[in-house]
Amino acid sequence: MGRGGSRAAPAAAAPPWHVLPDEVWEHAFSFLPADSDRGAAAAACRSWLRAERRSRRRLAVANCYAASPQDAVDRFPAVRAVEVKGKPHFADFGLVPPAWGAAAAPWVAAAADGWPLVEEISFKRMVVTDDCLEMIAASFRNFQVLRLVSCEGFSTAGLAAIAAGCRNLRELDLQENEIEDCSIHWLSLFPESFTSLVTLNFSCLEGDVNITVLERLVTRCRNLKTLKLNNAIPLDKLANLLRKAPQIVELGTGRFSADYHPDLFSKLEAAFAGCKSLRRLSGAWDAVPEYLPAFYCVCEGLTSLNLSYATVRGPELIKFISRCKNLQLLWVMDLIEDHGLAVVASSCNKLQELRVFPSAPFDAAEQVSLTERGLVDVSASCPMLESVLYFCRRMTNEALITIAKNRPNFTCFRLCIIEPHTPDYTTHQPLDAGFSAIVESCKGLRRLSVSGLLTDSVFKSIGAHADRLEMLSIAFAGNSDLGLHYILSGCKSLKKLEIRDCPFGDKPLLANAAKLETMRSLWMSTCSLTLGACRQLARKMPRLSVEVMNDPRRGCPLDSLTDESPVETLYVYRTIAGPRSDTPACVQIV
């Protein structure tokens, strides 16, 4: 874009806007909060592209294979905070072969080279090795935030490198990672002079922790706001830690069980009473009901309560939750049952997000009394409820229709009826009508997971009505190719589609190939796809990476298979980096 205007203004007037220097645009772009807005601005013209990319500080790479690390470093040279996600979502449930990929090492290496000023690194579902952590500790002199979510491949040796090397570390946030325990006292490697910690989350660590060292660390880090412990910290030590850090805002208790002792109870109660800023609480694994009242003094202030690993049940649990009148987020096990959720509905009117997890997902005999009633009650009484994840064993269309009517403001609705193909238990009909009501009523729905007995007609509704839907998860549903066709030809905003065990075949995939380039990724496993269609898709769409995976335990030389061979798993994603070179033997890019 050149100097289009012919305004030969007098010297005193400001220059025309399109010749303003880059720094002005960079400052303007700093007010754009969303990366997508910045991306849109960058696409307007070359000078905006230059100004935007040179001033981008935060970068989120939602698929680590969509672009190469070098691409990212070259395009955005000034990045200070980077987040990279790796494996597809279904890796959480064991559907992705173990050595599939998503290594963090290339990203760390590129960052060490091109982004020496990086302060924050987040990895999700990636393989992070101890070498990566050592490189992070050695390469970034102002490194402050390390967040690892659902990662694997590292041990306490890597954590030791971080503790010893990152002088300015503010956040060490380890969420649900698989961490090998090398029996290294990594906590003691934080130097005595180190006081900058604001967040320390090691709840997923299975090993022991030196409690004296932890106490000293907590004492000298006066800005510590988030502390999430693992299950190696006994209850009385927890009380000590709280007394040393009364300023904390978020606490993960780890274990919360011990034989009941009135002394210990009083100690805990007093410790919690001192935590006037506590707003978010999690943990309470193995919680002993008699100790729950120790929390009572903080209930009023809690906005977030995560009891999703707590196997406590009964009246003490319900009484405790009912006192948390300001809860915005509640994660519980289905042990709360319908009557507990009814109490939540009447007490926690500010609730925005509810997740109910199954306590015995594989054991149909141990049934808890959690049904559609609980969800109906909560959605009726909590006007701000917008995000739900609900595991249950039965559902009706009527309940879903009622929920849809009461809560048109859902942005995330994930319902998992544990037994596949479960119909409406009163009418024995598929649950098409119920889910259709949800998508028709909730115009802002961004994420949806369906379950139960469903035919193609529900996908017709979803395709037609779910205009803002970005992520859709389907399992054991549909009865023909039409189902997939409805989704791919509709759903204007779809970014991620994951499907398993549905009778969807080649035709809708090939007919809607162009749609796939507008999406981030598509996962289809145990459907009716053939290798020939995947090959055809790859030929037709060169900017997609078409990965085919078969059972890793069967030797699978995919090259030798015919076009008619069935494909167990297909994972398609758009990429500017071309085919990746780190696939294991059972994954092939066609």
- Please tell me the distance from the alpha carbon of residue 255 to that of residue 252, in angstroms, as a whole number: 9
Shorter beta-carbon distance to other proteins: residue 65 or 391: 391
Contacting residue, 20, 28, 112, 157, with other proteins by CB under 8 A: 157
Give Cβ neighbours of residue 552 (< 8 Å, ≥ 6 apart).
Answer: 97, 98, 584, 585, 586
Backbone angles phi, psi at 491, to 5 degrees: 40, 75
- Residues 424-453 within binding reach of other proteins (CB under 8 A): 428-430, 432, 453
Give the pair of three-digit tokens for residue 147: 């967040």
Contacting residue, 57, 243, 325, 421, with other proteins by CB under 8 A: 421
Contacting residue, 566, 582, 584, 585, with other proteins by CB under 8 A: 566
Question: Interface with other proteins includes 95 (CB under 8 A)?
Answer: yes
Question: Interface with other proteins includes 19 (CB under 8 A)?
Answer: no
Shorter beta-carbon distance to other proteins: residue 68 or 177: 177
CB of 490 to other proteins, least distance (A): 11
The size of the chain, in residues, is 590
Binding track, positions 377-416, relative to other proteins; x by CB under 8 A: --------------x-x----------------------x
User: Which amino acid would we find at residue 390?
Assistant: Y
**Residue 49 CB coordination number (10 Å):** 15
3-state secondary structure of 527: strand
- Please tell me the distance from the alpha carbon of residue 64 to that of residue 42, in angstroms, as a whole number: 21
- Please tell me the distance from the alpha carbon of residue 415 to that of residue 418, in angstroms, as a whole number: 9
Shorter beta-carbon distance to other proteins: residue 110 or 450: 450
Question: Interface with other proteins includes 551 (CB under 8 A)?
Answer: yes
**H/E stretch holding 228:** strand 226-228
Question: Interface with other proteins includes 575 (CB under 8 A)?
Answer: no
DSSP letter at 259 equals -
Q: Are 556 and 569 in contact (CB under 8 A)?
A: no
Q: Are 544 and 517 in contact (CB under 8 A)?
A: yes
- Please tell me the distance from the alpha carbon of residue 356 to that of residue 350, in angstroms, as a whole number: 17
**Residue 187 CB coordination number (10 Å):** 21
CB of 184 to other proteins, least distance (A): 6
Backbone angles phi, psi at 503, to 5 degrees: -85, 50
Question: Interface with other proteins includes 180 (CB under 8 A)?
Answer: yes
Shorter beta-carbon distance to other proteins: residue 3 or 554: 554
Question: Interface with other proteins includes 232 (CB under 8 A)?
Answer: yes
What are the DSSP calls for 364-420, one per residue?
A: TTS--S--HHHHHHHHHH-TT--EEEEEES---HHHHHHHHHH-TT-SEEEEEESST
Question: Interface with other proteins includes 92 (CB under 8 A)?
Answer: yes
CB of 19 to other proteins, least distance (A): 45
- Residues 472-491 within binding reach of other proteins (CB under 8 A): 473, 475-476, 479-482, 485, 489
Q: What number of chain residues touch other proteins (CB under 8 A)? A: 80
Question: Interface with other proteins includes 259 (CB under 8 A)?
Answer: no
- Please tell me the distance from the alpha carbon of residue 366 to that of residue 147, in angstroms, as a whole number: 36
- Residues 22-81 within binding reach of other proteins (CB under 8 A): none
- Residues 109-128 within binding reach of other proteins (CB under 8 A): none
- Residues 489-548 within binding reach of other proteins (CB under 8 A): 489, 500-501, 503, 505, 507-508, 511-512, 526, 528
Shorter beta-carbon distance to other proteins: residue 17 or 362: 362
Question: Interface with other proteins includes 422 (CB under 8 A)?
Answer: yes
Q: Are 430 and 459 in contact (CB under 8 A)?
A: no
- Please tell me the distance from the alpha carbon of residue 268 to that of residue 294, in angstroms, as a whole number: 6
Question: Interface with other proteins includes 240 (CB under 8 A)?
Answer: no
- Residues 341-360 within binding reach of other proteins (CB under 8 A): 357-359
- Residues 181-220 within binding reach of other proteins (CB under 8 A): 181-185, 204, 206-208, 210
CB of 154 to other proteins, least distance (A): 12
Q: How many helices (H) and strands (E) does the chain have?
A: 21, 23
Q: Are 500 and 95 in contact (CB under 8 A)?
A: yes
Which segment (85-93, 101-109, 336-344, 532-540) binds other proteins by CB under 8 A?
A: 85-93
Question: Interface with other proteins includes 560 (CB under 8 A)?
Answer: no
Question: Interface with other proteins includes 562 (CB under 8 A)?
Answer: no
Contacting residue, 23, 419, 563, 582, with other proteins by CB under 8 A: 419
